Structure 1
């Protein structure tokens, strides 16, 4: 599977425009995007040392822009391999703007953040570059 670098960089740039990302201090961040039929939801965390802030990825003036880019990436991958991913994991380091993107095709709850596992997942998903 070959994904164009410009598509991945576009997603990273859109994440940097999200309200929570702009509003809080952070050294690393993580967002889990979950895909359903015609729906994309997300949740994540902003890390600043020992401080961890729950966050969502939403651009104030363009609510659908990030979602549309993610859906386009999902469709592109589907065209290449015949399967759609259920979740996308996005991690970034603030200082260098290095980022990682991973996909989950089989387990739709692999990275799910829920009230019952929030403390566990915030450490499991903490970026390690």
Structure 2
């Protein structure tokens, strides 16, 4: 985003929701105290609510892993609501990538194609690698 663009949404509320989502994820029993170098979550808030994700370990392996679902999805919905610009469609799905050391968080938002990051049996290995935090 360049400096001449203005935010038409509540940046403080969005920042707060994103920070809380990140904290919620790394504090969840699925990740806290476990070996992980990266975490990826795909959280869809429209047209339906769903989440899937992966824990990437320091040895390069991965396994399916998500935090307890309802609170994380509700926090993502809060983030989407905070980012909504009046008169425009909000994002439908977000890609959350958390990496160590840090932890650092990177988020990408999909406004048009809610299934953009879907994983299928045919694309499993390639997609999981594509979603690995860098």
Q: Please, what TM-score do these two structures have when normalized by structure 2?
A: 0.79
Residue 127 of structure 1 corresponds to 133
Instruction: In structure 1, list runs of 5 or more residues that go unmatched.
Output: none
Look up the SS of the partner of 2:45 in the other structure: strand
Larger Rg: 2
Partner of 2:73: 67
Gaps of 5+ in 2: 1-6
Between 63-72 and 39-48, report the one with greater CA deviation: 63-72
Retained in 2: the 8 A contact 1:42–1:57? no
The alignment of Structure 1 onto Structure 2 pairs a total of residues equal to: 123
Q: Provide closer, same or farther for how the CA distance between residues 110 and 27 of structure 1 changes in structure 2, counting only shifts above 3 A.
A: same
1:46 matches 2:68: no
Q: 8 Å contact 1:91–1:101 — kept in the other structure?
A: yes
Cα distance in 2 between the residues matched to 1:23 and 1:114? 29
Which portions of structure 1, spanning 4 or more consecutive aligned residues, are displaced by more than 4 angstroms?
Answer: none
Aligned to 2:105: 99
Instruction: Provide the residue aligned with 2:4 in structure 1.
Output: none
Q: CA RMSD in A?
A: 2.0
Give SS of 2:32's match. helix
Partners of 1:29 and 1:45 within 8 A in 2: yes
The CA deviation string for residues 19-53 of structure 1, in whole angstroms up to 9 with x for no partner, is 3223641111111112234x421111111132111
